Amino acid sequence: MKAKVLVRLKSGVLDPQGKAVLHAAKSLGFSGIQDVRVGKIFEIEFESENSDAVQQTLKELSDKLLANTVIEDFTVEL
């Protein structure tokens, strides 16, 4: 089965990459944009079709490898 993990900076954490995109958008003439935040998406393919086991694995994997939980939050989508 396929699953997704979204990793985003926590809301209080500054996002210079998002700010750079915001400024680039403005300088290209796009108006009306208030804020941009950039995150990562991991699309992961598992051999198992057992969604409980996959969800558990994904939580551990995100905690240990995919996200830096000091500054990032993650959400798992099956």
CB 39 within 8 A of CB 5: no
User: How far, in Å, CA of 78 to CA of 25, rounded?
Assistant: 32
Instruction: Looking at residues 11 to 50 of the shown chain, list those that interact with a copy of itself (rule: CB under 8 A).
Output: 18, 21, 24-25, 28, 30, 32-48
Among 60, 68, 71, 78, interactor with a copy of itself by CB under 8 A: 60
CB 5 within 8 A of CB 58: yes
**Whose Cβ is closer to a copy of itself: residue 47's or residue 70's?**
47
Q: How far is the CB of 47 from a copy of itself (least distance, A)?
A: 5
